[in-house]
Structure 1
Amino acid sequence: MERDSSFSADRADALSGHDDDLAGVTVIVCSYCRDETGSDAHPRAGALLAEDTRRAAADENIRIRTIECLGNCKRRLSAAILRDGCWSYVFGDLTASSGADLVAGAKLFATSTDGLIPWRGRPDSLKRGLVARIPPLDLLKD
């Protein structure tokens, strides 16, 4: 996998968060997503992304879960990053090798003080692939 050329010391510092911080973060990968060709071959590209994400998170305290459909089919391979009591994020246009980017985003999220994944230091695939940011229910006023 090609590494983001904007990788910096700031990003490296953010990625060295504590395991306790990571315990509240979950990455959900759509395991049923097809690749850009629309191939119905198994394992599906989404399942490959889930495995890549698990490998990237092997030494981290991040929950990696799968779901059959996130309903984001037009944006192909999709995943979500959730954190207890914070905003949730849905990403699309990922590749089967985007697992390290999802883990990097989860680490940034775990160390965030405002409940948002910081834009600075976020892997490009999570900048370009942002589909939605969903507020926590307790933030809604009506």
Structure 2
Amino acid sequence: MDQNSSFSAGKADNSSADSDALSGVTVIICASCRDETGSDAHPRAGELLAQDTRNAASGEDICVRTVECLGNCKRRLSAAILRDGCWSYVFGDLTTASGADLVAGAKLFATSTDGLIPWRGRPDSLKRGLVARIPPLDMLKD
């Protein structure tokens, strides 16, 4: 369930190529994720990660959204990075302070020429925390 928390995280100059590329990347964060203790405290750890990501994306043209659940509860704090027509990535084992890593991953993804987030330069949390890489639907069509 989408919490309709779509945030254009900044006011970047849309005339630049980098900004155009970044505008095609969306970071989705599970707002209902709990912290490592399983605490039911509010705001939930997922909401705190979402806010940290919005703060890290300030000044960038990256869309940051929250959803109710990404279904990755055993790996706790979860997020996904999406780009139209490219592979999508799901990450787990994040912390409430992983926002800068998600933004760094989004930037790498935005400038990728092959539609993949490059391994080199990817933050360690996005290497260790990779849960799934999902192909674009166009790739699966006959």
Query: Do Structure 1 and Structure 2 share a fold, with TM-score over 0.5?
Result: yes
Number of the residue aligned with 2:41: 41
Q: How does 1:20-59 map to 2 (within 5 A)?
A: 20-59=20-59
Please list the CA deviations of residues 47-80 of structure 1 after superposition, one character each: whole Å capped at 9, or x if unmatched: 0000000000011000000001000000000000
Alignment of 1:99-114 (within 5 A): 99-114=99-114
> SS of the residue aligned with 1:103?
helix
Q: Which residue of 2 aligns with 1:79?
A: 79
> Could you say what secondary structure the match of 2:39 adopts?
coil
Match for residue 5 of structure 1?
none
| Letter matched to residue 135 of structure 1 | P
C-alpha separation between the residues in 1 aligned to 2:102 and 2:43? 20
Question: Where does structure 2 lack aligned partners over 5 or more consecutive residues?
Answer: 1-16
> Identical aligned pairs, as a percentage?
84
Unpaired runs of at least 5, structure 1: 1-16
Corresponding pairs, count = 126
Aligned counterparts of 1:47 and 1:124: Cα–Cα separation in 2: 22
Write the distance in 1 (CA, Å) between the matches of 2:132 and 2:118.
Answer: 15
In the other structure, the counterpart of 2:18 is 18
Q: Secondary structure at the match of 2:132?
A: strand
Quote the offset at 1:18 in angstroms.
1.1
Paired letter, 1:83:
R
Please state how far the C-alpha of 1:132 moved relative to its aligned partner. 0.1
**1:84-130 per-position Cα deviation (integer Å, ceiling 9, x unaligned):** 10000000000000000000000000000000000000000000000
